[in-house]
């Protein structure tokens, strides 16, 4: 039994490729979920855009076309437009978003006020598509290319592109002044947190193969580039902090202020580097801080280089 039909109401729009597309408003034929028989829904290009099975539904302002499919018990709400080779399924909830496939949104994922621009070609696997799955919760963000968000990940004011991945219970927390930028093959997992500050330059940036895992925290103006790893309870508080080229911070290692680490440098245990008053610390070339070692800098002298 069909749960909806295409009504006589139609509208025409122009696709990004300049093609004219006619959409038809759907009307429920039976009662299912919270939808009543006779209720008008969103707009589709044809019956392939919304499954007749399950309780999936489109609210009145939703537009779905160009190969996009909504199935299962997915709910598409608000001012949402879905297009491209896209599948929204299971119990996913999408509201006030624009999504261009190829992409898969599944599980109990929730997306609000988010833009997705997916495309192939940024991984060794040419068929890997952008995915949002599990209990992922995304708000006010931009996702591009072939990123992956899964598990119980939470993202607000994030900018993810290329092959970036956020998983586990990780939190990406930007704000109206600064977003959080993840690109290339970076990953944030477990209970790690990446948090933007309020100042104009307080944007955390992860690129290359940077990895933040366990309970590590990155806050404010921090740049992690190359094969950088923050593990255990590592803590960065930028002013700015720059880590590049095989740097590892683990244990309860802490870095705050204007600090740059590069070339196989490592902090372990309770090691700490802190600067104040615009002073700078630079560590490079296989330096290792362990135990309770500390480097602090707050003086009128020239930047300290170790």
CATH code at position 211: 2.160.10
pTM, full prediction: 0.93
d(C-alpha 273, C-alpha 146), whole Å: 36
Q: Is residue 135 part of a domain?
A: no
Each residue's pLDDT tens digit, 224-238: 999 999 999 999 998
Q: Looking at the domain assignment, is residue 45 inside a domain?
A: no
- Count CB atoms within 10 A of the CB of residue 191: 15
Which domain, by its residues, includes 256? 186-305
pLDDT band at 29 (very low <50, low <70, confident <90, very high): very high
In a domain, 128, yes or no: no
Please report which confidence band the pLDDT of residue 301 belongs to, taking 50, 70 and 90 as the band edges: very low
DSSP per residue, 29-46? SS-BTTBPTT-EEEEESS
Q: Residues 54-77: pLDDT tens digits?
A: 999 999 999 999 999 999 999 999
**Number of folded domains that form the chain:** 1
Task: Say if 13 falls within a structural domain.
Answer: no
């Amino acid at each position: 039994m069909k749960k909806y039909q295409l009504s006589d109401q139609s509208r025409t729009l122009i696709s990004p490729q300049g093609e004219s597309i006619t959409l038809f408003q759907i009307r429920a034929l039976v009662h299912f979920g919270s939808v009543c028989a006779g209720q008008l829904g969103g707009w589709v290009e044809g019956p392939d855009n919304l499954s007749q099975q399950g309780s999936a539904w489109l609210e009145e302002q939703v537009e779905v076309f160009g190969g996009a499919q909504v199935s299962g018990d997915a709910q598409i709400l608000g001012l949402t437009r879905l297009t491209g080779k896209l599948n929204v399924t299971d119990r996913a909830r999408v509201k006030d978003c624009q999504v261009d496939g190829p992409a898969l949104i599944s599980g109990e994922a929730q997306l609000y006020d988010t833009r997705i621009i997916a495309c192939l070609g940024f991984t060794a696997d040419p068929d890997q598509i952008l995915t949002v799955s599990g209990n992922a919760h995304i708000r006010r963000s931009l996702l591009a290319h072939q990123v992956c968000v899964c598990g119980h990940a939470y993202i607000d004011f994030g900018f993810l592109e290329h092959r970036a991945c956020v998983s586990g219970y990780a939190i990406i927390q930007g704000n109206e002044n600064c977003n959080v930028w993840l690109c290339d093959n970076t990953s944030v997992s477990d209970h790690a947190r990446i948090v933007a500050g309020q100042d104009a330059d307080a944007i955390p940036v992860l690129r290359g193969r940077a990895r933040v895992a366990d309970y590590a925290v990155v806050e404010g103006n921090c740049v992690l580039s190359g094969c950088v790893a923050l593990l255990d309870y590592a803590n960065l508080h930028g002013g700015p902090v720059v880590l590049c080229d095989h740097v590892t911070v683990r244990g309860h290692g802490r870095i705050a202020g204007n600090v740059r680490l590069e070339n196989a440098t490592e902090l372990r245990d309770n090691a700490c580097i802190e600067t104040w008053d615009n002073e700078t610390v630079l560590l490079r070339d296989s330096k290792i801080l362990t135990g309770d070692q500390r480097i602090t800098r707050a003086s009128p002298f020239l930047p300290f280089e170790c």
